[in-house]
Amino acid sequence: MTDAVRDSYDARAKEYADLFLDHLDRVPADRESLGAFARLVSPGAGVVADVGCGPGNVVHHLAELGVEAIGYDVSPAMIDEARRAFPDSTFHVGDLTCLDLADSSLAGIVARYSLIHMAPTRLGDAFREWFRVLEPRAPVLVSFFASNSSANHGLPFDHAVATAHELFPETLVAEMQAVGFDSFEVSTRKPMDDERPLDHGTILARRGSP
């Protein structure tokens, strides 16, 4: 599934970047969730990773908030777009379930709308990898299209680029909790007029202590 997602985003990377580079200017709720995440990152703690960073605007925004951030994306063409838009930031091609990072080396992880492209039965692979690379108590921010019932967890929806799935917030929390995350804050918002008709979910959590 990851190869198909990579190829799909490679084919439409420029189009996606043109559409979403200014996303945070248009969506105050997303700036607020990133602000809440940034406040949980310990000062001087080290680097935060945006996994599935797309065109790099969130990495840039975090830097503006005073958080040192790097971006990973499985799509090389998307990483090219990010490097072109933000040449002062650091971006790597990489899979969020298999990061080229040492244990306990990250001060936080942001994953916005990247988990939606995983096979729903494999989400635990991502959470286990994040637990490995995060420092104890480091924060995680996950954004996704939220289903309103557990029965719809994993339901595919019509996504312009690659197969994507609704995710039920409580199911994600249970899976993260099973791996060792805690201190969950869950929120959802209704779509704006120009957005697809699905709720947006956000989970802010912390990696537990070993």
Binding-site ranges for ligand SAM (CB under 6 A): 2, 5, 9, 20, 23, 51-54, 72-75, 78, 95-97, 112-114, 117
Residue whose CB is less far from ligand SAM, 53 or 176: 53
Residue type, 179: V
Do the Cβ atoms of 171 and 180 come closer than 8 Å?
A: no
Nearest residue to ligand SAM, using CB?
54
Q: How far is the CB of 162 from ligand SAM (least distance, A)?
A: 7
The whole-angstrom separation of Cα 159 and Cα 87 is 29
Q: How far is the CB of 72 from ligand SAM (least distance, A)?
A: 6
Residue whose CB is less far from ligand SAM, 121 or 209: 121
Q: How far is the CB of 204 from ligand SAM (least distance, A)?
A: 16
Residue whose CB is less far from ligand SAM, 43 or 158: 158
Could you tell me if residue 176 is left (phi over 0), alpha (psi between -120 and 50 degrees) or otherwise beta?
A: alpha
**Which H or E run contains 72?**
strand 69-73
Q: How far is the CB of 209 from ligand SAM (least distance, A)?
A: 27
Residue whose CB is less far from ligand SAM, 75 or 147: 75
List, as one string, the DSSP characters of 112-154: ES-GGGS-GGGHHHHHHHHHHHBPTT-EEEEEEEEPSSGGGTT
